[in-house]
Structure formats: structure tokens, C-alpha cells
Structure 1
Amino acid sequence: MARLTDPQRLAWLRLIRTDNVGSRTFHNLLDHFGSAEAAIEAWPDLVSKGGGQGKRLCSVEDAEREIAGLERLGAQLIALGEPDYPSVLAESDGAPPLLTVLGGTACFERPIISIVGARNASAAGRSFAAKLAADLGRAGFAIASGLARGIDTAAHEASLATGTIAVLAGGPDRIYPAENAPLLQRILKDGAAVTEMPLGWEPRAKDFPRRNRIIAGLARGVVVVEAALRSGSLITARLANELGREVMAAPGSPLDVRCEGSNALLRDGATLITSADHVIEALGASLAPQGKPASHYKERGPIIIKESGGAPAADDGLRALVLELLGPSPAGIDDIVRLSGAPARTVQLVLLELEMAGRLERHLGGRISLIGEPTY
């Protein structure tokens, strides 16, 4: 598959770094306008018609500075649809359009298992996570985790020799926790670190669920070892389930609050595992060798620019109707299209206008909700 040209990569970076453009919005913009360049050209009009003010379009200069900074760091900026992009992640709903990668990409070619769990993990939990990661590594898997203290650290350390992937919540130059910066350097020898966040980005609390989405999306399955009832590990497990990944958990003591969440997963139907063999058995047929995925961008190619022929026009009457159909509770896009009576592409244009204006939130399963009060 052909790679993006330098101007196309710059345009992709500008678009994904623009206000109110997340992964799903990026995909919708490319679907609608055919290229990042065309979407950028249409952006001011979308924001205006959506009722937005003060929104920022990433400048050419800012994007060029980020690319230069990544080059100095030795990082790659890999686009969805390019050969080195992790193939299983590419099939995920809302896969990051651009992934910053430190280290090598060879580990992406192996089947990946994510191992996550408590930061304040017990000695027994860390020991089990390490043994599981080492055994799976020897069986041909790469191990992904979030570089956090506890279970994540144990899983990374045990799979250094066979290939491990650290998924970062901040920019590639903002390692959290800082104490694991030396571990990251050891990871990069035979593994990789990935992030969708910009260079210089300090991780915030709300960035960790975004990171967990990548941890879940990279892997054929997710194993939870020691997790409290309210923990990021359970968020990762939920996201993995929504993506159709195998969710597995190690049983823990009912007297240990660090195991309440992982035990709850087992009650809710997660696969119980106590060894690498159990993980391999749970994955079953999904371990069959696979080539690159036939995802949307793989099929049409990431650099094909189609002629839009002009997007179908939307008038204020349709905008008002779409706003009336939307509300704070998530609704299906198909339902909005059906009830509006308008062509799907025209409704999608109105939704993009609202999204660029910061007034629309997208949810898994093709659902959307309105943020704030209508102004039309």
C-alpha cells in the first residue's frame, strides 16, 4: 500500500490537530470531502454554519514544527492505511488516523495481547502478570500495556526480549510516570511506544481512557490482572468488549479490593485464565495468520483523493430539523437520517457542521448527542 506524500501527511496532521476533530470526525470528514486538504478548505464554512466561534484550525507552521520535533526525537508518524500501521488497530472503530511510534514496528506484525491491571498491585499479581507476559512472548505474541506502575510495569519488563508495546497517554516526549522513562528506553530496543497525542502534550486524567482505547484496539484480547471496581483497567475491558475483542481476567481473592473489578468481569462473562495456554485457547481461531486488514481506508487507500463534485447543500430548515431531532441522550445516526427525510450525505454534512462547532458528541455504535442548546 502506498504511503502518504509529505504534503498529504502535513494535511492529515493539520486536520487531526484542529479543534473538535477527533478520530471519528476525521474519518467522516475524509469520507465526505475526499481528502484532508479539501476538508481543511471547507472547515471555516463548516464551523460558521454549525454556529461555532473561536475554534482553531491547526496552522501549517504548527504542523511543520511538530513533524520536525518528531524527527529530532527519532519518532515516526504513521498514517492509517500505511503498511506499518498496526493491522488490528486499523480495524477498530475510531482508529487514530495518525499514530506516533517510537522504536520499531516489527512487533506490530505479531499477534498482540494486552495485559492491564492495578497500579498498586500485590506481589502475587505482579508475579502472575510477569509469568503470563513471558510465556505469551515465548509463544509468539507481543505484549501491550500502558506503562503504568504495577501490573503494566511487570508485563512490560517480562516481555522485553520478545517485544512489548507501551501505549502512552501523553506526547512521545512526555513519559508518565516519569519513573518509567528508563523502562521505556529498554522497551524501545526490541519493542515500541505509541501515542496519538501531540508532541509536548502533558497527560491529563481524561487522556487515559483515550489511551485505553488504543490498548484495547491493538490487541486480539485483553487480560485484566487485579483491578478495583472503579479503575482504568475496567474501562479498557469495556472498550475491548465493544470492539469485539476477547476479554479475559485472572481470578483474585474475594478479600482483596484490588480484585473486585477483575472478579466482577468473570461474573459478567469474561474468560477465566490462569495461564498462557488458557489465553491461547480463548483466542482460538482468531490466532490464524492474517494479512493486512481490509478496512475502509485499506480498500480505498489512504492517499486516493476523490472528486466530491460538490457536497449536497443543506439549508437552515434542515439544520433546524436535525437540531430538533437531537438531544443530550445518544441517538442513532440512521434514525436521524430516517426521521429527517433528507439524503444521508446531506444530514452528514449538517452533523459535521455541528461537530466542527463543538456542539456534537459521537459515541460508539454510530450514536450521537447534542452538546448545549440549539441556536438556530
Structure 2
Amino acid sequence: MLVCMLVALLPLCLLLTPQQEKQLEGCRRCDERGVVECKRHRGELLELEAQVDFCSTAARCRDCAGALLLPCSRCDGGPDTAGMLARRDEIATWLKQEHQLEKFLGKQLVYMETAHLQLASDVEELRDGKKKISGHVLLHRVARDAEQSAELIDRHFGATSKDYRARMMLWFWGSQQTHRQVMENFLGSGSAGDFKWLGRDPRFSVNCKDSSFQLRAPTLHSLGVHNAAHMLISNLFSEIWIGDMGGGWFDSGSAHWYEEKIFNRVDNYCIDELDFIATWKNGEWRAALRKYLSRPGEDAILPRLLRQQTGAMMPRDHALAWSFWDWLATNHTTTLAPILKGLKLRRPERELFAEHLKMDVRQAETAWIEWVTATYPKKEPKRKRP
């Protein structure tokens, strides 16, 4: 008798055969879907949650278990019911997997996964202008925009998931102690500042309370997106970072390009032993570079710029590298993949340009400067940051 009562309490959709389930049509309340949105996920957060593959905070929702949908209470189900139940099972399986950072730190974290990224944080709250946001929302914003960068990278390089060897790991911490623990055990460094490991199994860690960031969400947001681009390029095709092999112009230029594409300006510079605030023309470079490159009698730029290491480049060098990469990405997109592969094999630019651009270095510089003069504005337009 007890068994019969329990079975009677189960949703009808769980008791139907696949043939019967296909006939469920929902009702007006659920727009004939058989499911409704979970009210615990609304507004920006609902949109952000839908853009990741998995999120631990959503997965721990006691109502929807991360599916973001609930069974409609006014009908027996509809065409979306089976998908909702399958999604719940998929998320539950993912959440049961042991998370290496939770195990190591001995505490619950917010973590999520996308097609290209794995992110984690223990930050509770950050400043977002006059408002405050949770570390959970920050991770979602980084994930959304870093994935947009990844999609652009895939398009530029003709890449698919098979061309990467790992997901990029980005970690945001609320204390110097936790950051240092993670740095020593997962990145092999005692650095107190933000730090990334590139090439094989790329990972990035930052103390969000560091004086450079002070829990400012916009600053950490762009920092995450910028470093994700570095990581993706370093892991693409082969697990080799070209930034310390003389390919700094490509490494920095590409990371700046994707950051600027998202935020309409550049705020992040990867410079070794930095004892000053790095910036050039407030991160808005087109008009300034047009003026700089148009000056008569200027010495050749590319012979000096090429073969530098990323960390040795000064702020103006970063801007020049971004612009040269901008010229390549806009006018010679199909050359990006073979040039990157060549740089990872330590082939010199003079060979790569001759083979893929059909130009020598000075011809490439002339074509680049002519394009900048013709296309960059004389004055930067006023625009709001996203």
C-alpha cells in the first residue's frame, strides 16, 4: 500500500513511456512547454547562467538543481520536460565530481565551466562602481566575455575544440593567503601579484584584494578576459608560449586585441618587474598611433619590435604590437594560424612573412602604416565602456 502511495506522488511525466511523453502538450501557463523558469534566477543572472555549461552555485539551487527550469504545476508536462530532466541529471553528475581546489583549500567555492574555461573563486563581494556584486557574478561576466574572445580566436585561427589541449583555468581569491597557497601548489611560484602559467595546462591566479585591484569588479573583469586570451593563444595548436621565445608582439598584440574588442580600450599590460602604473594614451590607441606612425623620418619599427619578449616590452611597444596584429587580423586573417604555428617552431618572422604575406619585414611595415593612416581616426570617439 505504501509503495502505491509513493508512486502516486511522482510526477506523471516520470511514469510515462517515451511514446506517451511525446504527446504531452503543456498548458497556457507554461506556453505549452511543460516547464517554467526557476524564480531564483532572474535578470542578468538568469542570462549569465544560461551561457555556461556548468555552475556550482546554480547546481546547488534547491529548486531547479541548476537546470533553471521547473516542472509546470498546472499540467503533466510538455515537449521541454524530458530535456529539463536530462539536464538535471547531467548537472548532478558534474557536481558530484571532486573539485581539486575545494579539496585542497578545504572549503566550498564558486566554480563554473564553459567550452574553453574553468573558473573558481572564494570572493564574496566586490565593488562595481557605486554598486556591489558577488564573486559569483564576476566569474560569470569573465566567463561570458572570455568565451566571446575564444569564439573570435576560433574564427580567426580556424580552430576547433580539438586544437586545444586543455581548458583555461582562472582563479580569483579574496585573500593574499589563499592566493599564495594556490600559487605555491598549483603554479610553482611565490609571487604575491597576479600570475599566469602559459602553454601546458594554462592557469591564472589573482588576489582580488591586492592594492592594484582593491576588489574593483571592472578591473578584475578586464584582467580575466585579457589573461584568458594569452592562455588560449599559448595552448592553441601546441602547448607552447611564444611570449618568452621572441614572439612577444604576437602574444601581447593578440591579447590586447581581444581585450580591446570587448571593452573598447586596453587596461592590462604584461610587463616584468613593473614598478610603475603601465599605460599608454589611456588605453585608447588608434588616434595616438595614427599620429605617431605618420611622423616623417621615424626609424623602422618592426625590426626593433619583432623578437622581443612580452615581459620586456614597454607600454608603447604593446600598443604598436596591438596595431600590427590589428592589421594582420583585419587584412590577412588566414595568415594568423600559420604564423602562430611557425613562431611556436621558432621560425623567424622574415621567413614567415615572406611565405604567408608575400612581403619582407619592411614591406609589411609600410603596408601596415599605410593602412593605419587610412583607417584610424584623427581623434578618438567618445564611447562608454561596457
Query: TM-score scaled to structure 1, two decimals?
Result: 0.26
Structure whose CA Rg is larger = 2
Compare relative contact order (CA 8 Å, sep 6+) and give the higher one, 1 or 2. 1
